[in-house]
Chain A
Amino acid sequence: MESLLNRYRNITVLLLVIAAQLILLAVQVKNNRDIPFVRAWTVTAVTPIASVVEWFRGGSSGFLHNYVFLRDADAENRRLREEVGRLKMDNIFLRNELSQADRARALQVFQSTTQSKTLAARTIGAGSGSGSKTIYVDRGSVEGVQRGMAVVTPDGIVGKVIASYPTASEVLLVSDPDFAAGVVSQKNQARGTLKGQGNGPCKVDYVPIEEKVEVGEWFYTSGDDRIFPRGFPVGVVTAVHEGQPFKEIQVEPSGLQHGVEDMLIILSGVHQEIPDTPPGNQPVYIAPAPPDATRTTGAADAGGAPAAASGATAPATEADRLRAHYKALGDAQNHVFGENLPGQKPPNFNLALPAGGVQAPVKQNAGQPPVKQNGAPPPTLPDGAATPPKPAASPAKPAGTPAKSPALPPGGGGR
């Protein structure tokens, strides 16, 4: 008997191990339930190591980066300081733009402006398995993350939490074939179900063929799935084909376009209205001209210039002022820009103009409506600019186009 056991020991152990795992598998599949403690052990064991590795990676790469770039930073700083001083004024606008583009800041702004209660999270690892589109984030049940919560960025939805562990959570990305979410098109309110396809664009299923969906149209979350609150951008339609009995719609998910580094987990979702315009085309609030420009306008008006009467306003930007200045210089020397042959003498750009000689050439369209704000308050400027003063020369307010933004001055504010 003993020799028999020894002889078949290997195959016996193999069968036992396989049988144990088959039973484990059967229990999960039959009850449609997970074995949470086994996963929790592994994830709790792995994620702290991953966090430490991530910390070392970030620290060491930062150290190397700083070391390499700081070796001759002192000399370079001196050289650049003068240049920076000269370019500082011009750079203000660009720096504002860049800071706006900063994703972390965008995330923060989005987090502070959205009505839903959110929790910022960061990716710390990728899910295992070939073709798997899951990631692990550094927020877990300790911070209140639960299975089924939605994960978004300002660009769009990212996925949903499919498992929450004490120190980390697993997020199923929208591109995973198992992902599904209720969506609605922006223009025609066509409802469907967003599904991942593993790679590339997602598809929207169950849109009847009689519904109208156009390429370039945006899809938003409908809120029907009870996971994603209504009104979060999903993606833009890249292709529409007629199928039976439903349309075949391809959607490029907007939430994954810039990678999934930082994101927000929606702890408590609040449904919101679907915007009238796509996210990329929503009007941008532009503040009125600064006080200096207002004084210039006042001086021009006092000098008898017919600017206000003819509907012209003060140049509002630096480019407008430069254009007006050069045009005045050209007019003073009978020079028409763009109509002189090569080799001809250019106008004297250092010519001193009489006071009040620069007038606004920019003609304001009397019927131009103010910038629409979709009912939302105007975003705060990155530098925390104060509420702009009311411009002195307000264009006539067009009938039937009331300004929606409470921050806009009555009848003005738009350019």
Chain B
Amino acid sequence: MDYSDSRILLSSQREGNESRFRTWVSMVVPLAAILFQFFLPRFFDFLRFVEMPFLVVVYFALVRRSQINGLLVGALVGLAQDSLSKHPLGMFGIVKTLVGYFAASVGLRIDVDHAMVRLVLTFFFYIFHQVLYWVMVRALLSQPMDLEPQRTALLALLNAVIGVALFHFLDKLRERA
């Protein structure tokens, strides 16, 4: 069977390279993402749409190709984000846990080093993240919250574009196993 270099689907789990990060990268990058969300909208309100913690969770889950790792990073980042929001603890935590788990599951089967694949996945997971959060706010908290499909799709696209650039930068920090 002839495999081309641009093949996207992986035939086995071993075929994908699991990426490792230095300990400080694993700690500093999520913290920086939280700080970004906390600090930057104060000066650049238009950057409020950038879901940096979400992008970091997706990235670590995709490239580490470990479902447990992905869901734990998602849970921790989500809980930290919850702590800085007015909502009860666990809302972002549950959503990002699921995002981390499913992103890692996809990373096991698809070569996520393709920029286009990353774009599509980030777009998809952003919409999943927003819809799940909307469902939880309405179902668990019984609070009104609007979900505008067109706006969500546009924000998903913008976050996906920013995510591809961010992932390219974060790739420099990883070391192949």
For A48-88 the 0/1 string (1 means CB < 8 A from B) is 01100110000000000000000000000000000000000
Q: How far is the CA of A33 from the CA of B109 in the complex (A)?
A: 42
Measured CA separation A53–B37 after assembly (Å): 14
Give every chain A residue within 8 A of B94 (Cβ-Cβ). 18, 21-22, 25
Q: Contact at A41–B83, with CB atoms within 8 Å?
A: yes
Residues of A within 8 A of B42 (CB): 123-126, 135
Residue A399, interface by CB 8 Å: no
**Cα A129 to Cα B93 with chains together (Å):** 12
Residue of B49, B75, B89, B141 contacting most chain A CB atoms (<10 Å): B89
For A, the interface residue count at a CB cutoff of 8 angstroms equals 43
Q: What mask results when residues 95 to 110 of chain B are scored 1 for a CB within 8 Å of chain A, else 0?
A: 0011001000000000
Q: How far, in angstroms, from A151 to B12 measured CA to CA in the complex? A: 59
**In the complex, which range does the number of interface residues on chain B fall in?**
35 or more
Which stretch of A8-16, A215-223, A230-238 is in the interface? A8-16
How far apart are A123's CB and chain B's nearest CB, in angstroms? Answer: 6
Contact across chains for B88 and A28 when beta carbons are under 8 A apart: yes
CB distance from A179 to the nearest CB of B (A): 10
The B44-80 residues at the A interface (CB cut-off 8 A) are 48-49, 51, 67-68, 71-72, 75, 79-80
CA distance A34 to B85 in the complex (A): 12
Q: Are A129 and B81 in contact (CB under 8 A)?
A: yes
Q: Which of B51, B86, B88 has a CB less than 8 Å from the CB of A132?
A: B86
Q: How far is the CA of A123 from the CA of B140 in the complex (A)?
A: 31
C-beta contact mask, A1-44 vs B, less than 8 Å → 1, else 0?
Answer: 00000000110011001100110110011000011001101110
CB within 8 Å of A: which of B1-43?
31, 34-35, 37-42
Q: How far is the CA of A50 from the CA of B86 in the complex (A)?
A: 19
Query: Does A244 touch B at the CB level, under 8 Å?
Result: no
Interface residues of B (CB under 8 A from A): 31, 34-35, 37-42, 48-49, 51, 67-68, 71-72, 75, 79-94, 97-98, 101, 130, 140-141, 145
Spell out A's residues near B (CB within 8 Å).
9-10, 13-14, 17-18, 21-22, 24-25, 28-29, 34-35, 38-39, 41-43, 46, 49-50, 53-54, 123-132, 134-136, 162-163, 170, 172, 176, 178
